[in-house]
Structure 1
Amino acid sequence: MEPIEIMTPEELKQKLENGEQLEIIDVREDEEVASGMIPEAKHIVMATIPEHLDQFDKEKEYIFVCRSGRRSENVCYYMRDQGFKVRNMVGGMLEWTGKTK
């Protein structure tokens, strides 16, 4: 199976600082995002992604984020199978040095 395209936390931070409009989806649990998430990210818990598919647009690319990058990678495989353009933020929030809300 073809590997998922990735983005490092550093690359993502740089793009946001440059003012790029990105579609970032944080798939962690509620109690995890309570300790801080990327301000531009949208929160959709991993288990609920299938019921939120109608909120995604096949013309856009989505960057998925979790704590370490493992769950978001699984979500990326699932979303790619559904026909979406995806990237995984490797290292997850453990390696995020940018702003959080």
Structure 2
Amino acid sequence: MKEVSVKELNELRNSGADFQLIDVREPNEFEIAEIGGVLIPMNSVPQNVDKFDREKQVIVHCRSGKRSGDVIQWLETNHGFDNLYNLKGGILAWADEIDTSVQKY
């Protein structure tokens, strides 16, 4: 599975790169801490496959990287995606390395 670090994501953002960021956590988690992107909770991914862009880099994240990795694996296996990247360490790594104001939970 392809991954990007939080530093690489921050560089993409700062450079104005055209990519999609998807958060697969639950709405209550999104309310606690978020780093942008489209909220598509993990359990709703099968009904929202069409919301994942097939033409540009898509970075999927969750709290630690486990759920987003599972979502990527499922999408690659069942829907043939090849442009998905897991955010290594998830929002916890973002809070540690990029923006300490993001609440950890």
Please report the TM-score for the alignment, with normalisation by the length of structure 1.
0.87
CA contact (8 A) 1:25 1:63 kept: yes
Q: What is the alpha-carbon distance in structure 2 between the residues aligned to residue 62 and residue 15 of structure 1?
A: 12
| Structure 2 alignment gaps of length 5 or more | none
Q: What is the alpha-carbon distance in structure 1 between the residues aligned to residue 20 and residue 43 of structure 2?
A: 19
Q: What is the alpha-carbon distance in structure 1 between the residues aligned to residue 31 and residue 49 of structure 2?
A: 24
Post-superposition Cα deviations, 1:51-93, rounded to whole Å, max 9, x if no partner, equal: 0012233223311000000110000101111111211001000
CA contact (8 A) 2:20 2:53 kept: no
Number of positions where the alignment pairs a residue of Structure 1 with one of Structure 2: 96
| Structure 1 alignment gaps of length 5 or more | none
CA RMSD in angstroms, aligned pairs only: 1.5
4+ residue runs over 6 A deviation:
none
Alignment correspondent of 2:52: 56
Please report the TM-score for the alignment, with normalisation by the length of structure 2.
0.83
- Alignment of 1:72 with 2:68, yes or no, is yes
- Structure number with the higher helix fraction is 2
Q: What is the alpha-carbon distance in structure 2 between the residues aligned to residue 15 and residue 95 of structure 1?
A: 16
CA contact (8 A) 1:58 1:83 kept: no
Identical positions, percent: 34
User: Which residues of 2 match residues 40-55 of structure 1 at below 5 A?
Assistant: 41-55=37-51
